[in-house]
């Protein structure tokens, strides 16, 4: 009887440890994501690119930031945007080359935000295509003579981040 209780206790301890490790692993999937809820009802999750871009002066480098967002009380409900340190020269829209999981490249029109440092795409379809993806590669032109920018994202935890945002935003998943 004591042997059974001892083994049962060991099994229970092992089960608890395995569960705790599983929880730790699940939490680590979202470690690279930064979440925020604004007073205006905007709920966001942001992720830094795995690569660096050199700033215009060439002295500093930075990682572009991909942000997915949900508006609790507004339209468009879902958006994604890319935050840059260097401005693009386009004023209203820019053609973004999008590659998801090394599939064929798609060209999309993204809006250029204030001062040209934010590129925005509204709509749930952009978020939906990334839910089961592992990687996202975005490429764009800074200007006619300025060259191209490229941002590579490891999307580990993307579906969990979208789920968390949808829950906070009190809306359906895209």
90: confidence class by pLDDT, cuts 50, 70, 90 = confident
**Adjacency order of strands within the sheet including 34-37:** 34-37, 42-48, 65-71, 78-83, 118-122, 106-112, 93-100, 135-143, 147-154
**Given this model, what pLDDT does residue 18 score?**
35
Selection from 2-11, 28-37, 158-167 with the highest mean pLDDT: 158-167
List phi, psi (to 5°) of 142: -70, -30
In angstroms, how far is CA 82 from the centroid of its own chain?
9
| Average predicted confidence (pLDDT) for the chain | 83
Q: pTM of the predicted model, to two decimals?
A: 0.80
pLDDT of 66 higher than 60: yes
pLDDT tens digits for range 123-161: 999 999 999 999 999 999 988 777 889 999 999 999 999
Q: Which CATH number fits domain 33-169: 3.40.50, 2.60.40, 2.40.30, 2.40.70?
A: 2.60.40
């Amino acid at each position: 009887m004591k042997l059974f209780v001892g083994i049962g206790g060991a099994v229970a301890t092992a089960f608890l440890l395995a569960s705790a490790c599983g929880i730790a692993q699940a939490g680590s999937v979202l470690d690279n994501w930064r979440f925020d809820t604004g007073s205006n009802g905007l709920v966001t999750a942001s992720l830094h690119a795995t690569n660096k871009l050199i700033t215009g002066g060439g002295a500093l480098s930075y990682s572009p930031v991909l942000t997915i967002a949900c508006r609790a009380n507004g339209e468009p409900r879902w958006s994604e945007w890319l935050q840059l340190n260097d401005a693009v020269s386009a004023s209203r829209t820019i053609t973004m080359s999008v590659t998801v999981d090394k599939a064929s490249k798609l060209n999309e029109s993204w809006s250029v935000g204030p001062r040209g440092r934010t590129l925005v795409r509204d709509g749930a379809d952009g978020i939906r295509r990334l839910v089961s993806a592992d990687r996202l590669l975005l490429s764009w032109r800074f200007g006619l003579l300025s060259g191209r920018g490229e941002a590579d994202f490891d999307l580990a935890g993307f579906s969990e981040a979208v789920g968390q945002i949808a829950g906070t935003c009190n809306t359906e998943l895209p």
